[in-house]
């Protein structure tokens, strides 16, 4: 599988687990830490600043970022919203996992089972992208099998997956996890050495979006 669609830039990954130098990301560098999207969305001049995380349960690095998200989400400013968008990159296995995400969300099981999906896939090596294995796994987690299957195969879930893929394609996201701020700025993280650094860059882009809304920033 192409590395660009499965994992971070290798230079980023080589340093993960080490501490970033103090102040390394204090002044963000365009082209290193972040980039302007070539085909940005048109965010409102007022209202919340939206942070998008493009991800897949099939991506182990998405799972590691997911582990450091909770404390960051707890301190998000009131004018910022966060939304996760599972993507498929045209892979049937990742489509199954994207449908799993939306099904868990619709049935109220996402908060309890989100991290467990990453664990089952990447630590226990359970092939949850195979529907029979997936059904057995969710039932073992206490999810009603009939309800899960009905939602999993619903037109609504399939439509959400398609919308996510169209958004990913429009914004030019070619690797995951991919963080986008205000529909205009993308986190690159080429100087990052920890997953937390990606969130620090995101914070900086939130400040940029807040400062430059309405004046072409």
DSSP states of 58-87 as a string? T-HHHHHHHHHHHHHHHT--TTEEEEEEE-
- The per-residue pLDDT for range 117-172, each reduced to its tens digit, is 999 999 999 999 999 999 999 999 999 999 999 999 999 999 999 999 999 999 99
Contact 51, 180 (CB under 8 A): yes
Res 14 pLDDT > 70: no
Contact 86, 161 (CB under 8 A): yes
Instruction: Please state the separation of Cα 116 from the chain's center in Å.
Output: 16
54 secondary structure, DSSP code: E
Domains along the sequence of the chain with CATH: 47-215 (3.40.30.10)
Report CA-CA distances (Å) from 211 to 9, 146, 203, 208.
29, 49, 12, 5
57 — alpha (psi -120 to 50), left (phi > 0) or beta?
alpha
CA dist., res. 130 & res. 62, Å (int): 20
The per-residue pLDDT for 42 is 83
- The per-residue pLDDT for range 51-85, each reduced to its tens digit, is 999 999 999 999 999 999 999 999 999 999 999 99
- The per-residue pLDDT for range 162-185, each reduced to its tens digit, is 999 999 999 999 999 999 999 999
| Pairing assessment for the beta strands 185-187 and 49-55 based on DSSP bridges | unpaired
Residue 69 burial (C-beta neighbours within 10 Å; 0-12, 13-18, 19+)? middle
Residue with token string 């109220």 = 108
Q: What is the pTM of this model?
A: 0.87
The mean predicted confidence, pLDDT, of the chain is 89
| Cis ω before 44 (30° cut-off from 0) | no
């Amino acid at each position: 599988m192409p590395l660009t669609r499965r994992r971070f830039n290798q230079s980023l990954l080589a340093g993960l687990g080490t501490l970033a130098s103090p102040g390394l990301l204090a002044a963000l560098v365009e082209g290193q830490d972040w980039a302007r999207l070539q085909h940005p969305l048109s965010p409102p001049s007022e209202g919340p600043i939206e942070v998008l995380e493009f991800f897949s349960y099939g991506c182990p690095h998405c799972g590691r970022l997911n582990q450091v998200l909770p404390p960051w989400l707890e301190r998000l400013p009131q004018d910022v919203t966060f939304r996760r968008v599972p993507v498929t990159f045209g892979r049937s296995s990742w489509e199954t996992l994207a449908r799993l995400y939306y099904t868990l969300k619709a049935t109220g099981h996402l908060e309890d089972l989100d991290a467990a999906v990453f664990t089952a896939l990447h630590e226990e090596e359970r092939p949850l992208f195979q529907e029979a294995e997936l059904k057995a796994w969710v039932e073992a987690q206490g999810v009603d099998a009939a309800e899960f299957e009905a939602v999993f195969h619903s037109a609504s879930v399939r439509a959400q997956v398609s919308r996510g893929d169209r958004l990913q394609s429009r914004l030019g996201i070619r690797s995951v996890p991919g963080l986008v701020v205000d529909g205009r700025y993308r986190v690159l993280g080429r100087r990052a050495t920890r997953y937390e650094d990606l969130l620090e860059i995101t914070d900086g882009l939130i400040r940029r979006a807040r400062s430059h809304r309405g004046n072409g920033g």
